[in-house]
Amino acid sequence: MNRRRLQLNAVQTLALGFAALILAGGLLLMLPAASRDGRPLPFLDALFTAASASCVTGLVLYDTWTQFTVFGQVVILLLIQVGGLGFMTLSILVSILLHRRIGLHRRAVLMDTVGALQVGGVVRLTRRALLVTAVCEGAGALLLTLWFCPRYGLARGLWMALFHAVSAFCNAGFDLLGTGASLTTAAGAPLLNVVLMALVICGGLGFLVWDDLLTHGRHVRRWRLHSKIVLSFTMALFAGGALAFYVLERDRAFAGAPTGQKILMAAFQSVTARTAGFNTADLTALSQSGTLLTLILMFIGAGSGSTGGGIKVNTFAALLLSAFAQARRREDVNIFRRRLDRDDIHKAYSNVTLYFLACLAGCMVLCAQGVSMDDALFEAISAIGTVGLTRGLTPSLPELSKLAVLLLMFAGRVGSMSVAMAVTRDQPQAKLRNVPEKILIG
């Protein structure tokens, strides 16, 4: 009986696994060998940095290059890689290499990790996820050496290329430029910007989409509905966001830059706001409209089963399509000649509700500690969306606010619904159900 009580379900295993990863990373970053000054970081600061890396967020209390030694940077990179792929994905890799049997419970956890629709075929999907990650990060690192090596030398250039390739594909937003201002000093570098944007988009599509692309190629009709929705809405958000940023910020945050650089900065801002965390523009110089657009894109995020965060592109699409169908008095929600499942729509509304409430709770904590409401909202959405963009607030956060942001990052990576499910007991469906009664809605 006690053994049954102690057995963890898939969601609890996922949540505890990430918590253990964060704690282990925090303890390693506290070691004197991790800091350039040889002094251990305060526990909360080390835990915050480990959480930001494991949850692929990118909010930092210290500049990564100036604060951490090579050992500390390696720890951060490993946390980013494991956090981006999911710790269970790497454990499956070990099992595959050792030819060990993968049990049903581990497959269930893996299903949540890589965003599979069913348990069957989840190991094959994991193999492809690892392959896509290796190819994308490897190709990205090779291209980035062409930019980093001429500027920083061979050894440091190779390390920086690898670090930024992994950070970009995992949508982490950590950088090693040492400026303390992300990539603002490299806003006019086409090679660096284009490669990082490509990696961010590739990591944000999700492994289920990559499985369709590798299996069916250009035969769009054979793709899953999920893949069609993610790809179409991702392209629409990228193009629409880039155009909007250019129109809104060409004479504000992008003022003084050549026209070509303005276009590049607008495209980069459209990509990075959806959970990447790098920035080539001064976020405090954005107009009110540009800030609002950034908040919207951060809230939406990347695709499900990807290295990115947010409510997810496919969830946003389900809500939008459902609202339009309701407005047109249509019972079914249709797209690409398919009908969305009602349970999926109900789950989308539930997920977004919990996500929004968690975001508001974090925002209120920050406001209670003297942070202005607009800065608090920006920081809270950036944290729970695992984006990593900040208006300079993160390094000066009070202790309680650091803890609130840390918890938001954790909830954003694991999933607000998953966190809620992890701390509640499974309730069997009652045999007798209550009588339904209508209420006024709207």
Q: What is the pLDDT along the chain (442 residues), one digit of tens a residue?
A: 444 445 666 677 777 888 889 999 999 999 999 999 999 999 999 999 999 999 989 899 999 999 999 999 999 999 999 888 875 566 556 555 555 565 555 555 555 555 555 555 667 777 888 889 999 999 999 999 999 999 999 999 999 999 999 999 999 989 999 888 889 999 989 999 999 999 999 999 988 898 899 888 888 889 999 999 999 999 999 999 999 999 999 999 999 899 999 999 999 999 999 888 899 999 999 999 999 999 999 999 998 888 888 899 999 999 999 999 988 988 889 999 899 988 889 989 988 998 999 999 999 999 999 999 999 999 999 999 999 899 988 888 999 999 999 999 998 888 755 565 555 666 666 677 778 877 777 6
Give the pLDDT confidence score for residue 181 in this predicted structure: 83
H/E stretch holding 273 reads none
Neighbours of 66 (CB within 10 A): 11
Helix residue ranges per DSSP H, 86-121? 87-97, 104-114
Task: Compute the half-sphere exposure of residue 285: CA atoms within 13 Å on the CB side of its CA.
Answer: 14
Give the pLDDT confidence score for residue 89 in this predicted structure: 62
End-to-end CA distance of the chain: 47
CA separation for the pair 300, 62 (Å, rounded) = 27
Helix residue ranges per DSSP H, 34-176? 43-54, 64-67, 70-85, 87-97, 104-114, 122-152, 154-169
Give the pLDDT confidence score for residue 414 in this predicted structure: 80
Give the pLDDT confidence score for residue 139 in this predicted structure: 97
Give the pLDDT confidence score for residue 432 in this predicted structure: 76
Helix residue ranges per DSSP H, 172-258? 190-205, 207-216, 225-249
C-alpha distance from residue 348 to each of 124, 243, 251, 321, 326 (Å): 27, 28, 38, 12, 15
Give the pLDDT confidence score for residue 4 in this predicted structure: 47
pTM assigned to the model? 0.89
What is the DSSP-derived secondary structure letter of residue 434?
A: P
CA separation for the pair 212, 203 (Å, rounded) = 15
